[in-house]
A and B are shown apart, each in its own frame.
Chain A
Amino acid sequence: AQTVTQSQPEMSVQEAETVTLSCTYDTSENNYYLFWYKQPPSRQMILVIRQEAYKQQNATENRFSVNFQKAAKSFSLKISDSQLGDTAMYFCAFTDSNYQLIWGAGTKLIIKP
């Protein structure tokens, strides 16, 4: 079965610090896509960053970057210079061969002033 595991239910850091959210997944497929979504208190679901499994280069999007380790099936999200507006639930997900998203349980991130 394909699964996504986010081992940190909740994290909190001070504003301006760097924080890393972990994600591991299990799949027998070789070609897939990985995503991090953010859900702030407003409840919207916002795409943060995405990564193609066949690309070795880690994706970067402004203050957000990933550490993709394909052999280890690990896809962690690093947020640099964290801001109060980064407070949200963060979901890791990947697409299977049917383009269906397989979701992790989420990590609640709190940025403290």
Chain B
Amino acid sequence: DTAVSQTPKYLVTQMGNDKSIKCEQNLGHDTMYWYKQDSKKFLKIMFSYNNKELIINETVPNRFSPKSPDKAHLNLHINSLELGDSAVYFCASSQAGTGGLQPQHFGDGTRLSIL
């Protein structure tokens, strides 16, 4: 049973295109996240949604737009892709409101490569 699944696993596209990455969790968690992992492996949070509401929106270009149709899904849409967007993007979920002890569960990542 896949807990957090994100698709696609690999995405190779041209600069200037628009693309989406989908994320779904079947854990019943309230909170979902998007992270960007750069080439140096550093993980940076981009967005966090709690029950479909945006609660964390770090300094991210507005070309990145998250969409949460329900609390089990958090998709990431990226407009006008740039070379610097090449990275691995991770989706994660957690049960918030429990004192932070509950860990975040991660998807397998989507490797985005911009040509």
Number of B interface residues at 8 Å Cβ cutoff, please give it: 26
Chain B residues positioned under 8 Å from A98 (CB to CB): 55-56
Q: Given A33-B99, A43-B109, A106-B41, are A101 and B56 neighbors across the interface (CB < 8 Å)?
A: no
> What's the nearest-Cβ distance from chain B to residue A96, in Å?
8
Once bound together, how far apart are the Cα atoms of A88 and B101, in whole Å?
24
Cβ < 8 Å to A, chain B residues 56-114: 56, 88, 90, 92, 94, 96-97, 99-101, 103-106, 108-109, 111
**Residue of A with least CB distance to B48:** A100
Best-surrounded residue of A45, A98, A103 (most CB of chain B within 10 A): A45
Interface string of A33-51 (1 = CB under 8 A from B): 1010001001111110010
Question: Can you list 8 A-B contacts with CB-CB less than 8 angstroms, sorted by A residue number?
Answer: A35-B103, A42-B108, A45-B90, A46-B106, A47-B105, A50-B101, A99-B96, A100-B48
